[in-house]
């Protein structure tokens, strides 16, 4: 049997406010992980999309006197524009208002109802209108009368006749699953929280809303709509072809990885796997909860009103630089402070200086000493070969674990080693002395540039295409010690020019 397609997903984003760098962060991380798998030769599928139902979206549209469908259409278009601006290469884009998705949700709902995993009862409890979520008295008390998610005051106690998902009966099974599949919950800090919550015991989940008009109607009871989270999580199935294209679904499912922000980790590691268990479908292989970008110590978010968009950040910088910064600046899983100054510092310290100069110096020397070609004879330096081997091993295993930050650190060990190699070998002296060692040095340096171009390509696809055109090489998984003799090295414009202060 052919390898299963590597299937990775982003959260689907609420269609009620412009997307900001927080959203771009998740999407770029998924894109990088997908491109890494593709570089390794796997067939890949990346799913993203929009979460378009619910009271909050309905209210936003109404306030702006726009029809809800027109409202969400606009945000879906904006998202597609943003992902193209950020060089994100997604393969599927689900919108929860798509008919195909709605049908999947209805089918899932009907099946769970028929088998008794969804049952009807009355529900009363504190309700956050903003998050469209019921909370327990205790949760609201702990959050001093506010919503534990968005922090807004909870003013409503809601009572409805409702349908419930039998979440409570999956606690034991979930704990067994986590134990048997230690890769499923990542990273460890997030995992522990989930395990604690499930160990304390789960309550059944109300999966319908009575007064929310903008949603998928409960099959057989149009007075109710399906809870947005129940609807939204199913995008990972509908976007993979379930059940309308089972041939495709079988190649994709189970998802290899869901990447989500830590605030929605619970939904993805408790509710979602329980739903899949009820459906008798295999569970995703990994759910990775990443941290937040903060600004003035607050999470960047619409509700705190401190939004920064990728467009603003990229007024002066190529979007690839933002992509690189996202994953280079902080370990995946922790929080970090976002600042333009930090991006510029990183740009200079990692890209313009060590990498940009390595390119420039190598190209200039090849042009001066070999007429713009690589030497037609010579061999790869033994020490740098060893370094490349070590770096490739480390880089690969860290990328497989989504430790982007560590992977880039290890690649920079090679960039630094190559720069030191120039200083130590002094090619200008070898040239003057007409030493045959010059051939080895220059072949080795050019080999290092190709090596970096390949491994950096998931992070900076456009910049790496430029790098590849400087070298007239293909972008591919590098092989340590690979050299190309007698090849034209066309070079080109400075890859990482100095920033002009505005
Ligand atoms: N619609 C739900 C997700 C449903 S998935 C089945 C949702 N949407 S959202 O528009 O609020 O997007 C939330 C996601 O955006 C977070 O999980 C996270 O991935 C990303 N981020 C939003 N703000 C962020 C930061 N400030 N920092 C990093 N990422 C954050 O929740």
pLDDT digits (tens, 9 = 90+) for 342-359: 999 999 999 999 999 999
Q: Which pLDDT belongs to residue 133?
A: 75
Q: Which pLDDT belongs to residue 304?
A: 82
Greatest Cα pair distance, the chain, in angstroms, is 90
Instruction: Name 373's bridge partners.
Output: 488
Number of H helices, E strands in the chain: 21, 17
Contact call for residues 413 and 388 (beta carbons, < 8 A):
no
16 CA from centroid of ligand 1 (Å):
12
Give dist(CA 488, CA 462) in Å, integer.
Answer: 21
User: Which strands sit side by side in the sheet containing 221-226, from one edge to the other?
Assistant: 208-209, 221-226, 217-218
255 CA from centroid of ligand 1 (Å):
19
Q: Hey, what are 502's tokens? A: 């505005």
Q: Is 500 a residue whose pLDDT tops 80?
A: no
**What is the C-alpha R_g of the chain?**
26
Contact call for residues 469 and 492 (beta carbons, < 8 A):
yes
- Mutating to test ligand 1, I would choose from 8, 15, 23, 236 the residue with most ligand atoms within 8 A of its C-beta, which is 23
Q: Is 137 a residue whose pLDDT tops 90?
A: no
Give dist(CA 453, CA 464) in Å, integer.
Answer: 6
- Mutating to test ligand 1, I would choose from 8, 10, 13 the residue with most ligand atoms within 8 A of its C-beta, which is 13
Which helix (H) or strand (E) segment is 238 a member of?
helix 235-238
228 CA from centroid of ligand 1 (Å):
15
Ligand 1, atom 6, lies closest to the CA of 233
Q: Is 97 a residue whose pLDDT tops 90?
A: yes
> What digits encode the pLDDT tens for the residues 189-242?
899 999 999 999 999 999 998 878 899 999 999 999 999 999 999 999 999 999
pLDDT-derived band at 1 (thresholds 50, 70, 90) equals: very low
Give dist(CA 273, CA 202) in Å, integer.
Answer: 13
Contact call for residues 306 and 324 (beta carbons, < 8 A):
no
Contact call for residues 321 and 313 (beta carbons, < 8 A):
no
Report helix, strand or coil for 289: strand
Which helix (H) or strand (E) segment is 295 a member of?
strand 293-295
- To the nearest whole number, what is the mean pLDDT of the chain? 95
Both ends of the chain: CA-CA distance in Å? 57
Between 1-5, 247-251, 315-319, 360-364, the lowest mean confidence (pLDDT) is in: 1-5
- Residues, the chain: 502
Q: Which pLDDT belongs to residue 23?
A: 98
Between 2-6, 14-18, 431-435, the lowest mean confidence (pLDDT) is in: 2-6
Q: Which pLDDT belongs to residue 63?
A: 93
Q: Is 501 a residue whose pLDDT tops 80?
A: no
Q: Hey, what are 411's tokens? A: 């690649």
């Amino acid at each position: 049997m052919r390898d299963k397609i590597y299937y990775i997903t982003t959260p689907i984003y609420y269609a009620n406010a412009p997307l900001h760098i927080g959203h771009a962060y998740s999407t770029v991380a998924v894109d990088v992980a997908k491109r890494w798998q593709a570089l390794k030769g796997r067939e890949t599928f990346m799913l993203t999309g929009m979460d378009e139902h619910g009271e909050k979206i309905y209210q936003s549209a109404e306030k702006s006197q726009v029809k809800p469908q027109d409202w969400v259409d606009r945000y879906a278009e904006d998202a597609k524009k943003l992902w193209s601006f950020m060089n994100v290469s997604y393969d599927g884009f689900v919108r929860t208002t798509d008919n195909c998705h709605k049908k999947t949700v209805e089918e899932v709902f009907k099946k769970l109802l028929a088998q008794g995993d969804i049952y009807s009862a009355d529900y009363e409890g504190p309700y956050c209108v903003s998050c469209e979520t019921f909370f327990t008295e205790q949760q609201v008390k702990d959050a001093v009368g506010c919503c534990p998610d968005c922090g807004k005051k909870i003013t409503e106690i809601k009572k409805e006749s409702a349908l419930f998902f039998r979440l409570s009966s999956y606690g034991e099974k979930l704990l067994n699953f986590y134990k048997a599949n230690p890769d499923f919950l990542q990273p460890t800090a997030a995992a522990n929280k989930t395990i604690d919550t499930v160990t304390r015991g789960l309550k059944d989940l109300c999966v319908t809303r009575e007064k929310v008009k903008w949603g998928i109607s409960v099959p057989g009871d149009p007075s109710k709509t399906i809870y947005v989270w129940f609807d939204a999580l199913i995008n990972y199935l509908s976007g993979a072809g379930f059940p309308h294209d089972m041939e495709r679904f079988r190649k994709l499912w189970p998802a290899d990885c869901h990447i989500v922000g830590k605030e929605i980790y619970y939904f993805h590691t408790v509710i979602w796997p329980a739903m899949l268990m009820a459906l008798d479908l295999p569970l995703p292989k990994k759910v990775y909860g990443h941290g937040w970008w903060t600004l003035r110590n607050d999470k960047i978010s619409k509700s705190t009103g401190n939004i920064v968009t990728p467009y603003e950040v990229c007024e002066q910088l190529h979007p690839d630089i933002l992509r690189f910064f996202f994953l280079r600046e902080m370990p995946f899983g922790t929080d970090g402070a976002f600042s333009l100054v930090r991006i510029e510092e990183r740009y200079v310290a990692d890209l313009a200086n060590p990498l940009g100069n390595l390119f420039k110096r190598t190209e200039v020397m090849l042009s001066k000493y070999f007429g713009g070609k690589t030497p037609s004879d010579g061999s790869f330096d033994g020490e740098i070969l060893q370094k490349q081997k070590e770096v490739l091993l480390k880089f690969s295993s860290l990328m497989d674990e989504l430790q982007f930050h560590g992977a880039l650190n290890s690649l920079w060990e090679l960039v630094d080693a190559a720069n030191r190699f120039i200083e130590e070998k002094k090619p200008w002296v070898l040239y003057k002395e007409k030493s045959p060692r010059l051939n080895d040095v220059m072949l080795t340096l050019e080999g290092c540039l190709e090596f970096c171009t390949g491994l950096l390509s998931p992070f900076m696809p456009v910049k790496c295409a430029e790098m590849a055109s400087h070298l007239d090489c293909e972008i591919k998984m590098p092989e340590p010690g690979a050299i190309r003799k007698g090849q034209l090295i066309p070079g080109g414009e400075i890859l990482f020019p100095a920033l002009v202060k505005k």
